[in-house]
Amino acid sequence: MKPIFLARCALFSALMCICAWISIPMGNLSFTLQSFALLLALFVLGGKGATVSVAVYLLLGIVGIPVFSGFRGGFSTLLGVTGGYLWGFLLACLVFWGITAFFGEKTKIYAGITAMVSVYICGTIWFMVYAPGGLLPILAQSVLPYLLPDAVKFLLAFSLSGKLKKLLPA
């Protein structure tokens, strides 16, 4: 891998760490800017680079560095109530990568939406383990409050990505 590719991936891993710390608690979950950083990485770096960035971010957290929301770290965080969303970030990158590799770069918006849906699916399934009570109450607590803010983050990340790509060295 080229050093510039690794530097760009490291930059977005750092951005994910910072965006995770910007957090507003909402019950068992928090409103963070992690999904903004994830989407920005997908749109700027593509699936491969975003996958590397998220893998580095998760590894930093696994070894105990407090990079997750609420300044948490450690493998136990990935096994906790919000762990499914974190694992979903990695799945989202792979989904985005697969869609754009197969159908081309013109499918970025569709790939980004599908990536976010995969985060919601992972997070919801994982959350159901910790808060049993049926799918609809879980969706009402873990997905519905985040749809509008995530849509705004999606549009912002997509609109900034073109400008940011021009600023970063190739």
Chain segment 78-113, per-residue pLDDT in tens: 998 889 999 999 999 999 999 999 999 899 999 999
Digit-coded pLDDT (tens) for 64-83: 999 998 889 999 999 988 89
Angle between helices 135-142 and 108-130 (to 10 degrees): 120
DSSP 8-state symbol, 65: -
pTM of the model: 0.93
Percent of the chain with pLDDT over 70: 99
What's the CATH number where 69 sits?
1.10.1760.20
Digit-coded pLDDT (tens) for 136-170: 988 988 899 999 999 999 999 999 999 999 998 77
Give residue 28's pLDDT. 64
Residue 81 lies in a domain: yes
Residue 170 lies in a domain: no
Lookup: tokens for 63: 């070894």
24-44 burial, b if ≥16 CB within 10 A, otherwise e?
Answer: eeeeebbbbbbbbbbbbbbbb
Give the structural domain span for 118: 3-165
